[in-house]
């Protein structure tokens, strides 16, 4: 019995190999990953010099990006090198013809003596309230004003992230009509700690939200040192407060690493053994009606949400109530930024899949939107009134902050856009 079946198998194997032409390429007969999916990906801007994260697109089509000195020591203004932490972009797409203009002025981007105060030990972020130190995000609000989020922190030339000083961490509003700062909100050291990292911000300008009537901003603190949380700001009074400190949903997940092109990436900190990814709450998006805030850690694959009323509340029991109000929405992949449109889709990167996906709160599921081998680390998104989703792809995980600790990025970095589905456009919370 045994012998006969072995013989039968051998006969079958030889007939299969005989049936298959030896010259045939296996790649033509086996199922393969198509690698691309979805609507057309349009290239908008190439970044040949500084390393970008944020993107903001105004109703007039003006575009702005920021360059965080906290992620790339070459983005750091040292008072002589002419670098800037935020710029207006002009279209180009050729190496010889790309243009960026320091915004709102070269002066605001040039803190006297540089972004680092070397008279303190250890060196710290300069304490200027009227200059930009290291911006991690820029966002156009529903009133078409540009807001610049300053972490107050940058890297020293050897890659050490300096602590912030009071005056550094702030939110600056710029009037796009005349390119002038109209508001500066400096965070107290009890809200933005010296080791906080103010990462991204979303705005709801509805007058009914607060007694001051000027709306609120919600900010993620993604600090790799671990004091993560969500900061809320009353744009009328300038008052700010924290929520969700210590909650697992704002912290990096345990022993997390991301995969790029199949390879796991561990985080590298100067002078220490490499470790798992340490980035906390970072991506942030408001539902189209402003009632729900979606957020997630970079070092993790789960998406979370909380009703915004719990974040705006700032009384004796508001923190315990907020911690009890967090929803876990399942795995949506690895992303940095997130963004919403009028479809109420929550767009996010999905870097391990070379993709942008969206979570639809109406059916509780995640859907791939666009996929392309040119998409790697999708950093930050901006939906614009022209009906497009803009996003930067900046190779973050190929930088020296990830194993093996050498810089494998290749310039240029890219700004892409894709038309939103179903005539979607920018939401309008005002």
Ligand X SMILES: *[C@@H]1O[C@H](CO)[C@@H](O)[C@H](O)[C@H]1NC(C)=O
Residues that bind ligand X (CB under 6 A): 74, 117, 119-120, 122-123, 126-128, 156, 158, 160, 165, 175, 177-178, 180, 182, 270-271, 360, 363, 365, 367, 407, 422-423
- Report, in Å, the least distance between residue 123 CB and ligand X: 5
Burial-class residue 306 by CB neighbours within 10 Å (0-12, 13-18, 19+).
buried
Q: For 125, what's the count of Cα atoms within 13 Å in the CB-facing half-sphere?
A: 33
309 Cα distance to chain centroid: 24
Residue 94 dihedral angles phi and psi, to the nearest 5°: -125, 150
User: Minimal distance in Å, beta carbon 113 to ligand X?
Assistant: 6
Distance between CA 423 and CA 343 in Å, rounded?
8
Residue 15 to residues 3, 7, 8, 24: CA-CA distances in angstroms?
A: 18, 12, 11, 16
Supply the minimum distance, in Å, between the C-beta of residue 227 and ligand X: 21
Could you give the maximum distance between any two Cα atoms of the chain, in Å?
90
- Helix or strand run (H / E) with residue 304: strand 302-307
Task: State the minimum distance, in angstroms, from the CB of residue 24 to ligand X.
Answer: 36
Nearer to ligand X, 140 or 230 (CB): 140
Q: Which is nearer to ligand X, 128 or 256 (CB)?
A: 128
Please state the closest distance from residue 194 (CB atom) to ligand X, in A.
12
Q: How far is the CB of 250 from ligand X (least distance, A)?
A: 27
Nearer to ligand X among residue 264 and residue 270 (C-beta): 270
The DSSP result for 334-364, as a single string, is --S-EEE-TT--EEEEEGGGTEEEEEETTTT
| Contact in structure between 54 and 63 (CB atoms under 8 Å) | no
Beta carbon nearer to ligand X, 96 or 119? 119
Which pairing describes strands 327-331 and 124-125: parallel, antiparallel, or unpaired?
A: unpaired
Which lies closer to ligand X via its Cβ, residue 81 or residue 328? 81
CB of 76 to ligand X, least distance (A): 10
Name which of 96 and 158 has its Cβ closer to ligand X.
158
| Minimum distance of ligand X from residue 327's CB (angstroms) | 17
CB-CB contact of 154 with 84 (8 Å) = no
> In this complex, which beta carbon is closest to ligand X, that of residue 21 or of residue 364?
364
Q: Which is nearer to ligand X, 313 or 368 (CB)?
A: 368
Question: CA triplet 261, 262, 267: central angle to 5 degrees?
Answer: 90
CB of 422 to ligand X, least distance (A): 4
- Please, are residues 277 and 258 in contact by the beta-carbon 8 Å criterion? yes
Contacts of 64 (CB under 8 A, 6+ apart): 54, 55, 56, 57, 58, 86, 87, 88, 89, 103, 138, 140, 146
Rounded distance between C-alpha atoms, residue 305 and residue 286, angstroms: 9
Residue 8 Cβ, how far from ligand X at the closest point, in Å? 45
- Would you say 241 or 402 has its CB closer to ligand X? 402
122 versus 315: smaller Cβ distance to ligand X: 122
DSSP string, 271-296: TS--BS----EEEEEE-TTSSEEEEE
What's the CA angle centered on 282, arms 279 and 287, to 5 degrees?
A: 155
CB of 193 to ligand X, least distance (A): 17
Q: In what order do the strands lie in the sheet with 346-350?
A: 338-340, 346-350, 355-360, 365-371
Q: What is the DSSP string of 179-234?
A: TEEEEEEEPPTTTS-TT--EEEEEEE--GGGSTT-S-EEEEEE--TTS--EEEEEE
If the CB atoms of residues 310 and 347 are measured against ligand X, the closer one turns out to be 347
Give the separation between CA 378 and CA 392, rounded to whole angstroms.
6
Q: Tell the smallest beta-carbon distance from residue 424 to ligand X (Å).
A: 9
Query: 34 or 112: whose CB is closer to ligand X?
Result: 112
């Amino acid at each position: 019995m045994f012998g006969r079946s072995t013989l039968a198998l051998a006969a079958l194997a030889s007939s299969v190999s005989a049936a298959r032409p030896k010259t045939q390429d296996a790649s033509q007969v086996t199922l393969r990953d198509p690698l691309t999916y979805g609507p057309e990906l349009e290239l908008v801007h190439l970044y040949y010099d500084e390393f970008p994260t944020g993107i903001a697109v105004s109703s007039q089509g003006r575009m702005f990006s920021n360059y965080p000195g906290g992620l790339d020591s070459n983005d750091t203004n040292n008072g002589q090198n002419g670098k800037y932490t935020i710029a207006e972009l002009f279209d180009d797409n050729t190496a010889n013809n790309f243009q960026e203009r320091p915004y709102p002025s070269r002066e605001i981007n040039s803190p006297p003596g540089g972004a680092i105060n070397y008279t303190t030990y250890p060196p710290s972020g300069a304490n200027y309230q009227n200059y930009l130190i290291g911006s991690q995000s820029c966002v156009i609000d529903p009133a078409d004003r540009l807001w610049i989020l300053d972490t107050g922190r940058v890297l020293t030339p050897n890659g050490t992230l300096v602590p912030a000083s009071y005056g550094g961490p702030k939110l600056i509003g710029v009037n796009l009509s005349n390119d002038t700062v109209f508001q500066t909100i400096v965070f107290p050291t009890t809200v933005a700690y010296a080791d906080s990292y103010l990462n991204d911000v979303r705005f709801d300008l509805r007058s009914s939200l607060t007694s001051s009537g000027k709306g609120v901003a919600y900010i993620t603190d993604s600090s790799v040192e671990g004091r993560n949380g969500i900061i809320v700001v009353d744009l009328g009074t300038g008052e700010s407060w924290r929520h969700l400190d210590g909650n697992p949903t704002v912290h990096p997940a345990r022993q997390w690493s991301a995969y790029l092109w199949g390879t796991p990436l561990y985080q590298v900190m100067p002078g220490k053994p490499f470790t798992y990814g340490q980035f906390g709450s970072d991506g942030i998006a408001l539902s189209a009606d402003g009632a729900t805030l979606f957020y997630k850690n970079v070092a993790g694959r789960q998406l979370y949400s909380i009703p915004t009323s719990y974040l705006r509340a700032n009384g004796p029991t508001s923190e315990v109530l907020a911690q009890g109000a967090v929803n876990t929405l399942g795995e949506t992949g690895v992303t940095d930024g997130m963004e919403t449109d009028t479809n109420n889709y929550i767009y996010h990167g999905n870097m391990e899949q070379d993709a942008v996906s969206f979570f639809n709160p109406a059916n509780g599921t995640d859907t791939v939107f666009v996929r392309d081998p040119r998409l790697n680390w999708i950093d930050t998104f901006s939906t614009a009134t022209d009906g497009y989703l803009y996003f930067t792809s900046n190779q973050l995980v190929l930088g020296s902050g990830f194993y093996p600790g050498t810089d494998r990025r290749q310039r240029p970095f890219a700004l892409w856009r894709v038309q939103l589905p179903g005539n979607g456009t920018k939401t309008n919370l005002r």
